[in-house]
Amino acid sequence: MLMDIIASIQWAAKVIESLPSELPWRESVLAQLSYCEVVAKGSESPERLETLDMGWIVSRELDGYESNTLQSTVSSIQYELQQSHLSYAAKVRLGIHKRI
């Protein structure tokens, strides 16, 4: 699982890096992906995961493109890390909590 999420982060970053640098959202999403990678590796605290918005940004900005692989990958990265690292209260605030 850990290697899968890290590979997904690295793939998404590579794809976004290949997009035009003048896209206003590009650097923000790359910074969030970089943060996700260090959290996934256990090198940084996950406390800022609640503030991620990269999934929504990429989905909004690339809406209508032929392939939605990038959008779904970035959204999955955000969701998986938030599910595995955030407190239940934070998940409730984000509307991503699951009843057990």
Q: In sequence order, which residues have a C-beta less than 8 Å from that of residue 95 and are 6 or more positions away?
A: none
Look at residue 60 in the predicted model and tell me its pLDDT.
93
Q: With a cut of 80, say whether residue 2 has pLDDT above it.
A: no
Q: Which domain holds residue 41?
A: 2-16+24-94
What's the number of domains the chain is made of? 1
CA–CA dist 30, 13 (Å, integer): 6
The answer to whether residue 48 is domain-embedded is: yes
The answer to whether residue 53 is domain-embedded is: yes
Look at residue 1 in the predicted model and tell me its pLDDT.
64
What is the mean pLDDT of the segment spanning 64-83? Answer: 89
Contact 12, 78 (CB under 8 A): no
The answer to whether residue 100 is domain-embedded is: no
The answer to whether residue 44 is domain-embedded is: yes
The answer to whether residue 42 is domain-embedded is: yes
Look at residue 63 in the predicted model and tell me its pLDDT.
84
What value does the CA radius of gyration of the chain take, rounded to a whole number of Å? 13
Closest to 10 measured CA to CA, from 68, 73, 81, 88: 73
| Residue range 10-60, pLDDT digits in tens | 999 999 999 999 999 999 999 999 999 999 999 999 999 999 999 999 999
What is the mean pLDDT of the segment spanning 2-6? Answer: 88
The answer to whether residue 99 is domain-embedded is: no
The answer to whether residue 45 is domain-embedded is: yes
Look at residue 100 in the predicted model and tell me its pLDDT.
59
Contact 85, 38 (CB under 8 A): no
Q: With a cut of 80, say whether residue 98 has pLDDT above it.
A: no
